[in-house]
Amino acid sequence: MKVLIADDFKSNRETIREVIQLDFPKIKCVTAENGREAFEKFKKEKPEIVITDIFMDRAKTLDDIENGPGLTMRIKQELPATLIIALSREEEYKDAAMSAGADKFFLKDHFRIEELLSFIKEKISVLNQKE
């Protein structure tokens, strides 16, 4: 099982990676600092789960591949079964994330990490049943 984490802030990427690996030591976590790098790593690694920030600073528009919605659309075109979790500090980006194909949206400042881990655990259980 692999998880790809895309966020333009290294501290966010590393915190999410560390927490996931503490609870799920068998999961391989791959990180990327923008949507373009994330998509390249996605094509190479084929992770079952992608956790992406919605708005990453280098992008010009939300549907640009540098951002979460653009990344989400491209991943869903490539492998529609990929579970995508979108994160943002702004509620206003939720519609863009969900319209692009995200499976779950969390506000960065308003969720407990346990909620993310619980959602991942639930989805891992479902994925394992399909194998």
Q: Which tens digits make up the pLDDT trace of 26-48? A: 999 999 999 889 999 999 999 99
- What pLDDT does residue 86 have? 94
Of 129, 128, 122, 120, the C-alpha closest to 49 is 120
- What pLDDT does residue 14 have? 95
In this prediction, residues 42-68 reach a mean pLDDT of 78
Q: What is the CATH number of domain 2-123?
A: 3.40.50.2300
Q: Which tens digits make up the pLDDT trace of 93-129? A: 899 899 999 999 999 877 778 888 888 888 877 766 6
Global pTM exceeds 0.85: yes
Q: Show the 3-state SS of the chain.
A: CEEEEECCCHHHHHHHHHHHHHHCCCCEEEEECCHHHHHHHHHHHCCCEEEEECCCCCCCCCCCCCCHHHHHHHHHHHCCCCEEEEEECCHHHHHHHHHHCCCEEEEHHHCCHHHHHHHHHHHHHHHHHHC
